[in-house]
Amino acid sequence: MLGCGALLIFALSVPAQSITDSDPDASPARPTVSTPATLTPTGYFQFETGSLGATTSPEFGTRIGVEQVTKLSVLHWLELSVQTEPYIHSSDSKGGDKEIHPGEVFLGPQIELMPAEGARPAVAVSYVRRLYESPAPELDLGTFRQSGTLLISNDIAGFHDDANFILTEETESGARRGQHAQTLSISHPLKKFTISAELWHFTQPFLRSYAVGNLWAISYPLRPNLVVDGGFDHGLTDTSTHWEEFIGFTYLVPHRLWRK
Q: What is the pLDDT of residues 207-258, one digit of tens each?
A: 889 999 999 999 999 999 999 999 999 999 998 999 999 999 999 999 999 9
Above 50 in pLDDT, residue 17?
no
**Torsion region of 194: left, alpha or beta (phi above 0 gives left; psi -120 to 50 gives alpha):** beta
Residues whose CB falls within 8 Å of the CB of residue 177, separated by 6 or more in sequence, listed in order: 169, 170, 171, 205, 206
Is residue 243 within 8 A of residue 56, CB to CB? The reply is yes
Distance CA 62, CA 142 (A): 16
Rg (CA), the chain: 18
Q: Which of 77, 39, 36 is nearest to 161 (CA)?
A: 36
- What is the DSSP secondary structure assignment for residue 146, as one 8-state letter? E
Cβ(125)–Cβ(108) under 8 Å?
Answer: no
Q: Look up residue 260 and give its DSSP letter.
A: -
pLDDT at residue 232 in the model: 98
Question: Looking at 94-192, which runs of residues are DSSP E strands?
Answer: 98-101, 105-114, 122-132, 144-156, 159-172, 175-190
- Model-level pTM? 0.88
How many of the other CB atoms lie within 10 Å of CB of 192? 9
What percentage of the chain carries pLDDT values higher than 90? 76
Burial class (CB in 10 A: 0-12, 13-18, 19+), 52: buried
What integer best gives the mean pLDDT of the chain?
90
Give yes or no for residue 4 having a pLDDT over 70: no
Exposed/middle/buried for residue 226 (C-beta within 10 Å: 0-12, 13-18, 19+): buried
What is the mean pLDDT of the segment spanning 125-138? 93
Find out whether 48 and 80 touch, Cβ atoms under 8 Å.
no
| pLDDT tens-digit readout, 97-123 | 889 999 999 999 999 999 999 889 999
Half-sphere exposure of 10 (CA within 13 A, CB side): 14
For the CA atoms of 61, 201, 207, 103, what is the dihedral angle to 10 degrees?
A: -50
